[in-house]
Amino acid sequence: MVDISAVRRIILIQVAVAVVIALLMLMFHGLTAAVSAFAGGAIGFLTSLIYAKKMLAPPGSEAKTIMRAHYSAEAYKLILTILLFSLIFTQYKEVHALPLFATYAATLAVYWVALIFV
């Protein structure tokens, strides 16, 4: 069974990491870098949120049902990730790619490191 409070904590930590990196970008590199960083972080935590929502399987579910939910959630997460990156690169012409991808990677790192400790 999935501990919902642990999932919330992981996503909140992802949000916090995105905000901290965006604030650091704002202080040292300006508004455009900060917005780019937050956009990358937002892709990370929004897709984690979608995964968490889609992954919920009823308590006591069979392994087959849980795996089906996992694959479905991963597919939604992947599709949303591609769509959000496409949206950013087509609509935000001033995007700074390094802060965008670095913050996205940082939120993914939070997710994977948190899974070890949860």
CA-atom Rg of the chain in angstroms: 16
For the residues of 33-99, what is the DSSP string, one character each? HHHHHHHHHHHHHHHHHHHHHHH---TT--HHHHHHHHHHHHHHHHHHHHHHHHHHHHH-TT--HHH
Whether the model pTM is above 0.85: yes
Convert the pLDDT of each residue in 62-107 to its tens digit: 888 889 988 999 999 999 999 999 999 999 999 999 999 999 999 9
- Give residue 34's pLDDT: 98
Bigger pLDDT: 54 or 38?
38
Domain span at residue 27?
A: 4-117
Number of domains in the chain: 1
Instruction: Provide the 8-state DSSP code for 51.
Output: H
Nearest partner of 95 among 30, 44, 48, judged by Cα: 30
Q: Read off the pLDDT of residues 15-44 as tens digits, 9 standing for 90 and up.
A: 999 999 999 999 999 999 999 999 999 999
User: What is the identity of the amino acid at 59?
Assistant: P
